[in-house]
Amino acid sequence: MLVTGGAGYIGSHAAKALCRAGYRVVVYDNLSAGHRGAVRYGPLVEGEIGDVRAVREVLRHHGIFAVMHFAAFLDVGESVRDPGRYYRNNVVGTLGVLDAMAAESVRYFVLSSTCATYGDPVETPMTEMHPQRPINSYGETKLAVERALPHFLRAHGLRSVALRYFNAAGADPEGEIGEDHRPEIHLIPRAIGAASGGGGLQVFGDDYSTPDGTCLRDYVHVADLADAHLRALEAMVEGKGSDAYNLGTGRPHSVREVIASVERVTGRTVPWTLAPRRPGDPATLYAAPDRARGELGWAPRFMDLDAIVSTAWNWHRAHPHGYEGV
């Protein structure tokens, strides 16, 4: 089983889930954003996803039958500033993986996609039938790959499942792996960092049409995301056709609620300042996860925000500098 981007946040948790389920895992990563210390559940092969020859060699050498693809750039703001970088990596690089799979007759592909393919919400909660109109290069690149997948099915018999995450959060409940982005862009670890004496937290806008004026988002635990990837793979192996699924809890939480949760869990104050709204931030964004529940049998175990934050806090306390020194 090949996990591209398996040294990263969600990829490493998927690698653990696969290993626990009895699969032999091989991680393929260039370590540009991932961490060698996060690779604990199978060998690491360093390489570029756009290097078709190298990917083919890995597939052939290790007898790979399926690929979980996490290797992608994911900073929305950076994607707006440097769209070419995102198209080269997220689209051209992924096509390299798909070409290598087709050449080596590897037939199962699970794509780490995103709710950013939807763009501004027309309605909430968002189902898989929601219009896909991305408003940034990150969402556009993920949608471009989603749109390529039916063509690879027709041409090469390559089955695929695209999993559209909402807000990934938390860390391995057993504390073995966690979240370590450089720079950190996610709210929960930034709030934990602020509570731990790091830089202060900025809250972007408090005048939205929400109960407390701050944005509402759907925080889904990373271990639950990993479980969904495993279920998607096994559904394909058992004969299910290609499809796409939303992954979220269906319960949105505001920025203020996240700050309050971090304060409860840590017992510390989260210093924050108010900043203007960011362009393109919708007031409310959360999933209708019913299709994944019904067709994959997937149900998030971590429905409580404090429980999600607790796993992130436990990882941060044990690894205040992330994977440095691991």
Catalytic, 138? Answer: yes
Q: What is the CA radius of gyration of the chain?
A: 19
20: which 2 tokens?
Answer: 């626990």
Q: How far apart are CA 34 and CA 39, in angstroms?
A: 9
Give whole-number Cα distances, 59 to 40, 97, 146, 264, in Å.
Answer: 20, 10, 22, 47
Residue 121's contacts (CB-CB under 8 Å, 6 or more residues apart) are: 130, 282, 284, 285
The single residue listed with the structure tokens 């996240």 is 258
Is 21 strand, coil or helix?
Answer: coil
Residue 178's contacts (CB-CB under 8 Å, 6 or more residues apart) are: 9, 171, 172, 312, 315, 316, 319, 322
158: which 2 tokens?
Answer: 């390559």
- Judged on CB neighbours under 10 Å (0-12, 13-18, 19+), 325 is exposed
> What is the greatest pairwise CA distance in the chain?
56
Active-site residue among 23, 28, 138, 208? 138
Contact 76, 28 (CB under 8 A): no
Find the helix or strand (DSSP H, E) in which 66 lies.
strand 66-69
Find the helix or strand (DSSP H, E) in which 321 lies.
none
DSSP 8-state secondary structure symbol assigned to residue 126: B
Active-site amino acid positions:
138
